[in-house]
Structure 1
Amino acid sequence: MTITSPHSILDEVRQFAAEEIRPFAAKFEKQKALSRALVQKMGDRRYLAASFPAQYGGLQLHPLEYGSLVEEIGKGALSAAMLLTVTTGLVGETLIRWGSDYQKEQYVWPIARGEKIGAFALTEPGVGSGAKDVKTSYEKAGDKYRISGRKKWISFGEIADFFIVIASDPATNGVSAFLVDREQEGVHVRKIEGLLSCAASQLADIELDDVEVGVEKLIGKEGMGFTGIANFALDQGRFNVAWMGVGLAQEALEVMVTYARKKKPVRAKNFQLPTD
């Protein structure tokens, strides 16, 4: 289908969810993964860049239109909406706001086209998602940064092509954000098993063992990782999650009502109301 205007997008998204997502939702959870074909289809339709400005390949939807899109995708499969939360909201929007031209060209455009998936590596064992308290550390050596630490519960970390990593400088206690590519030496990814729901969101444990990145991978400036990058990213994520919740509740209600309307009433035999 062809998108004719921002206002026509929701009809298209509903049909897409009905044909490409909802029939396969149980399969995604059983296989514990979204299909890469689905990711590419979402990229081809620019859903992964629905909130991006047109200059970055986006549909530049109004926040309410974008939220409704997330809702419709979430009604089809929660993990598919989670992909929007992570790679579009937490990662893509953050790079559009804080990233350099180089970073936007290398990472934002591939997200928009469905060619790359980004993940937000903030949460740590024993720390949670408190950006100012992260134990993952970095040190600067010339025009390079070396990053070491462990991240956990990273949504789509299992298949992400790159990560935004939040790390701290032990010498200054400053927190900064870096782009780390999956294939870099010292990056070790381990899938987290045993999830009770959203198994297709492919959570992972990420080990960073003296990973070296150039200054061009620093997002914004040193020391902006907490007050700037992490807080901004989490705001985008919360917006997406709220719409996901609406979609999940709406789908549950619609399924319940449909079932109730089709269910034949069962009448108890020889049942009498008490008289006293």
Structure 2
Amino acid sequence: MTQQLAPAIDRAFARSFVDCSVRPHADAWDRAGRIPEELLDEIAAAGLWAPFLPAALGGSGIDMVTLGEIHEEVGRGCSSVRSLLTVHTMLSWALQRFGTDAQIQQWGPELAAGRTLGAFCLSEPGAGSDTAAITTTAVPHKGGWLLNGVKKWTTNGQRADLLLVFAKRPASTIALLVPSNAPGVLVNPIDDMLGTRSSMLAEIAFSDVELGPESLLGPSGFASGMVLTGTLDLGRYSVAAGSVGIIQACIDACANYAAQRRVGGTPLRDLPLIQAKLSDMVTDVRAARLLLAEAGRLKDRGDAATIMATWIAKYFASTAAARHASEAVQIHGANGCSPEFPVGRFYRDAKVMEIIEGSTEIQRMTIAAEAYRKWEP
């Protein structure tokens, strides 16, 4: 009897999964403001929560280029689902990269299997993701830590089991692994957002949360320079991939609509202005995909240049997604403003991509600073 091999975790596998289990339901989830548990279980069964983790932990050991392709496909189907994958990926990667053997053995298999879902807690009310303005504190307490503060805009905060929390101590920033069911953790759902409406956002308050010494991820004082930088870079990479997926979704929706819609007896697809909009989408999606692949290859090589490559990929892909999602609504006309067509969701989700994991303005400043640094005499 021939043993049947498990399917490879790659773009084709992700595309099939998304077309079957995600894309047909994304609009309904957007209206409900929540991803159903059934889908979370399906993602786990498909091995898509953290497929980059090694096989020893239950992952598939895929490379970063492939991870970007998977997140693109998921973003094509539903930006909210991709957002859940993003924050889970950030926590899982940080654990693998900076965790102790005991932490990795405790949490790695759980994260890979999707039995434990992760979230990333950095942003705060009034401070956003400005790390210098963090007010959440962690003070030494009984050999461990006492955590107090509030985090906001936490993707999957309503559902996550394990939180990666960044907090201030007197001389440094530290990263802590905090179970969401720990005494003193209070989760307040955030609903009715503009975009990624089913990403289950939450404000999370920490009131005298007692944590043991094993909760510290990485050496004390190490977080702001390494854990935070590397983790945010991977989150930015996933958002760039999701933005590419939004552009592709716009192409698919507009090509289909323009082939069926007629204006004055002429198919919409034959109108030169419509063709111009589609040609710009096709060109930009290929350019964005290439920028993303470059960033992924640099990650796989361990090249520090991946940081800037990811900034550039995210800037180009997110601004292009916002631009083309707007054009997608325009092509659909009044139908584009209706919940009967997905382009309105693309439009709202694409706007969010220009804000999260580094706003467009911050990206421009960062990219320009790199140009000045590289070319100054």
**2:240 match:** 242
Partners of 2:59 and 2:227 lie apart in 1 by: 21
Number of residue-to-residue matches in the alignment: 263
Residue correspondence of structure 1 range 58-77 to structure 2 within 5 A: 58-77=59-78
1:227 Cα deviation (Å)?
A: 0.7
Q: Tell me, what secondary structure is at the counterpart of 2:52? A: coil
TM-score (norm 1): 0.91
Name the SS of the counterpart of 1:210 in structure 2. Answer: strand
Instruction: Report SS of the residue matched to 1:145.
Output: strand
Q: Following TM superposition, by how much is the alpha carbon of 1:102 offset from its aligned partner in structure 2, in angstroms?
A: 2.1
Alignment-derived partner of residue 231 in structure 1: 229
Residue 207 (structure 1) shift: 0.5
CA contact (8 A) 2:50 2:88 kept: no
Aligned match of 2:52? 51
3-state SS, counterpart of residue 166 of structure 1: strand
TM alignment of 1:139-178, pairs within 5 A: 139-169=139-169, 171-172=170-171, 174-178=172-176
For 2:30 and 2:5, how far apart are their aligned partners in 1?
Answer: 30
Matched, 1:92 2:92: yes
Consecutive unaligned residues of structure 1, counting only runs of 5 or more, are: 269-276
Give CA-to-partner distance per residue, 1:187-239, whole Å, 9 cap, x none.
Answer: 00000122011111011001000101000010011111211211111011011
State the 1:2 CA deviation.
5.8
Contact residue 136 and residue 150 of structure 2 kept, 8 A: yes
Structure 2 unaligned blocks of 5 or more: 267-377
Q: Secondary structure at the match of 2:92?
A: helix
Find the aligned partners of 1:19 and 1:246 in 2 and give their Cα distance.
Answer: 20
Q: Which has the higher helix share?
A: 2
Shift of 1:267: 4.5
CA–CA separation in structure 1 for the residues paired with 2:46 and 2:67: 14
Mapped partners of 1:114, 1:212: distance in 2: 26
What corresponds to 1:273 in structure 2? none
Tell me the SS of whatever aligns to 1:230. Answer: helix
User: In the alignment, is the contact (CA less than 8 A) between 2:146 and 2:210 conserved in 1?
Assistant: yes
Question: 2:78 & 2:168 partners in 1: Cα distance?
Answer: 36
Q: Is the 1:43–1:111 Cα contact (8 Å) retained in structure 2?
A: no
SS at match of 1:17: helix
- Superposition deviation, residue 134 in structure 1: 0.8
* Amino acid aligned to 1:184: A
Maintained 8 Å contact 1:48/1:112: yes
The aligned counterpart of 1:266 is: 264
Higher relative contact order (CA closer than 8 Å, sequence separation 6+):
1
SS of residue in 1 equivalent to 2:262: coil
- Is residue 24 from structure 1 mapped to residue 25 from structure 2 by the alignment? yes
Q: Which residue of 1 aligns with 2:135?
A: 135
Whole-Å separation in 2 of the counterparts to 1:29 and 1:103 = 35
Residue 271 (structure 1) aligns with: none
What CA deviation, in whole Å up to 9, does each residue of 1:68-87 have, x standing for no partner?
11111111111111111110
1:159 counterpart SS class: coil
Q: 1:211 aligns with which of 195, 209, 212?
A: 209
Quote the Cα distance in structure 1 between the aligned partners of 2:60 and 2:249. Answer: 25
With over 3 angstroms needed to count, the CA separation of the structure-2 counterparts of 1:3 and 1:66, relative to structure 1, is farther
Question: 1:43 touches 1:49 (CA, 8 Å); kept in 2?
Answer: no
**TM-score, normalised with respect to structure 2:** 0.67
Q: Give the corresponding residue for 1:105.
A: 105
Cα RMSD (Å) of the superposition? 1.6
Give the Cα–Cα distance (whole angstroms) in 2 for the partners of residues 139 and 251 of structure 1: 47
1:126 has 2:126 as partner: yes
